Structure 1
Amino acid sequence: MAKVLMKGNEAIAEAAIKAGCTHYFGYPITPQNQIPEYMSKRMPQVGGTFIQAESEVSAINMVYGAAGAGARAMTSSSSPGISLKQEGISYIACAQLPCVVVNMIRSGPGLGGILPSQGDYFQATKGGGHGDYHMVVLAPSGVQEAADLVAEAFDIADEYRIPVMILGDGMIGQMMEPVEFKEHEGRKLPEKTWAANGWKDKSRPRNIVNSLYIEAESMEEVNRQLQEKYAEITQNETRVQEIMTEDAEYIIAAFGTTARIAKNAALKAREMGIKVGVIRPVTLWPFPAEAFAKAADRVKGILCVEMNTGQMIEDVKLAVNGKVPVEFYGTTGGFVPAPGAVVDALKKLKEGK
């Protein structure tokens, strides 16, 4: 199939349709507005359902209902909108339902601005809603990867009955790059025998979708099931990209679009005689702790570069367990890190400043 020049938001929307998404519920907020706009045109063309909900709270609860009936359902928003969806996401996680949530992060806190940020890392990876739960969080670094990961997101969601988040930012949502919608082989997924989609087969009990457990024993059992599931996902679905790490003496840790800048900074540093590699978590949860733990045995230091005030750095520090210095360079407000500034931060790390 020929490549098409598309915005990241539009590529994500088209990839969702090709992945079999039949129900989309959303509410407009910059910088992800092209997703609901695109879905509003395309979903009717493929026999799907598009609803612009009256609020983000309504949208995520519509996802809850559609996912509970066994449909492939998706919503998208940007930072403040995702905050409003957190209660519903926690419900979906407890009910063990599959869905895909897209967050194109904007700068914050508060209503903030419409420029790119990575300030929602904690919210996405630590469970922004209440209770002990996780989402699988995928962080693409380009438009093609964003499209590819959407199909994977739906498959992972269905296989493990878990919400999956595509975590991008305003930059990846608005940039235009060539994208090819590849044939996705997909996984061998079990039938959704749990779905509340009618009780025609009277040989089985009624399916009940629920996230309310009054008895302590019942709530404890649900949490036990979830933790077993999370351990399995950590074992099977952790993804990471390592760039020029074989001989690296220093590592830049970065995710999403910032990792592209980190790669340029690493190349510049190598021109100056500093051997630098990049470790890019593709899954922010589960976090690829093992890759950083192994790197800590052979490098002299790690620099975390993020578009926030320092969030992923906590997971990196936990992974290396004090074996090597871990420093931070970040930007906020919508400023994008410049490769030269990252190199300067690397020099300070090298000099021990």
Structure 2
Amino acid sequence: MSETRLMKGNEAIGEAAIVAGCRYYFGYPITPQTELMEYMAKRMPQIEGVFLQAESEIAAINMVYGAAGAGARVMTSSSSPGISLKAEGISYCAGAELPCVIVNIMRGGPGLGSIQPAQADYFQATKGGGHGDHRNIVLAPNSVQEMADLTMLSFELADKYRNPVMLLGDGALGQMMEPVNLEEKPLVPQEKPWAANGQGERAKPNVINSLYLKPEQLEAHNIHLQNKYQKIMEQECRWEEFNVEDAEVIVVAYGITSRIARSAVEMARRDGLKVGLFRPISLWPFPSERLLTLAQQTKAFLVSELSAGQMIEDVRLATKQIKPVHFYGRMGGMMPSSREIYNQINLILKEKEAVK
């Protein structure tokens, strides 16, 4: 059974998590994700779930560690500085191989910054998010419908790989309202024989831990994790393409910026310009192989994001810079217009003509 509703992005995440079987939510309020927390505060008691406003972001992520260790589907959410506070706990979850979902509705920074939308947490999500050699799976929606769809996918991937998954949105997506179709699915109990949920008939109790005092054991554990991450890179890359087949310039953008960029691409196409859009959906693993293939046929790339330029580094690495990679971004909560991106496309094409 499915139902279409008009929902804010933050609310869509909450309801999708419930549909996916999340019954534990721990968080701490911070804009622009507070509606998600408020939604869970209302809905969790209605489904006999657990909602708890922790005393801090640090407490919230450690509560997630406990619930995930017991085998529950669990989620937390925050915005940029709050995710920074959760970083240690996220690393602990990765080290103990605990499946959980962490939502970051990004705001302007650095520091307290502003409550306006931004995408300056890309490095934090894809390169950091905690200490040590660990990775988070990172998914980036660009609509309220995808906020819901990718939330449900996040829980599936978290359980499949026993790994934290981060849903990376922004203040615009969190606050905007769009129709959402939420399909109710029968919940299949997740077999988690590793969970610390009572000894039962097991000969020995399960132990959840990320501490290895012997370096040989810790190295072996790290090798195991790296092998898992390699498997994720091979199997879980996701992206969307638009008019890239004959494109001389390919715009690379994710999240809310990809929607603005698509309007710019459509504008360029109406004017007879060969321009396309490549939208990474999984920011980690990053769809590098596909971008390298596109680099063989296009003339240049234009990366656009709400930052000083963070994803551009992954695009340059992916394409091995065999074609120029340009950048256009806005910061501090400012968002580009489709005309601004269109003008940047025009500049790149004019430069190409001048070189001829």
- Give the shorter-chain TM-score range: over 0.9
CA distance in structure 1 between the aligned counterparts of 2:139 and 2:116, rounded to whole angstroms: 20
Listed one character per residue, the Cα deviations across residues 149-206 of structure 1 (whole Å, up to 9, x for unaligned) are: 11110010001000001000000000000001024588x8861000001112143x22
In structure 2, stretches of 5+ residues that fail to align are none
> Any conservation in 2 of the 1:159–1:189 contact (CA below 8 Å)?
no
- How far residue 97 of structure 1 moved from its aligned partner, in angstroms, is 0.4
**Aligned twin of 1:229:** 228
Matches within 5 A, 1:1-353: 1-184=2-185, 191-203=191-203, 205-352=204-351
Q: Structure 2-normalised TM-score? A: 0.96
SS in 1 for 2:3: coil
Contact kept, 8 Å, 1:158 with 1:189, in 2: the verdict is no
- One-letter amino acid matched to 2:339: G
- Displacement, 1:82? 0.3
Give the CA deviation at 1:217.
0.5
Question: Distance in 2 between the 1:182 and 1:283 partners?
Answer: 22
Distance 1:137 1:189, change over 3 A: farther
> 1:297/1:202 Cα in 2 relative to 1: closer, same or farther (>3 Å)?
closer
Aligned mates of 2:323, 2:189 — CA distance in 1: 42
Give 1:351 shift. 2.5
Task: Judge conservation of contact 2:125–2:138 (CA < 8 Å) in 1.
Answer: yes
TM-score of the superposition, structure 1-length normalised?
0.97
Residue ranges of structure 1 left out of the alignment (5+ in a row):
none
Q: Which moved more, 1:300-309 or 1:175-184?
A: 175-184
**Alpha-carbon offset, residue 350 of structure 1:** 1.6
Change (3 A) 1:153 1:185: farther
Q: CA offset at residue 295 of structure 1?
A: 0.7
Distance 1:189 1:41 in 2: 24
Which amino acid in structure 1 is aligned with residue 52 of structure 2?
I
Moved over 2 A (4+): 183-186
CA RMSD of aligned residues (A): 1.3
2:117·2:333 contact (CA, 8 Å) conserved in 1? yes
SS at 1:208 equivalent: coil
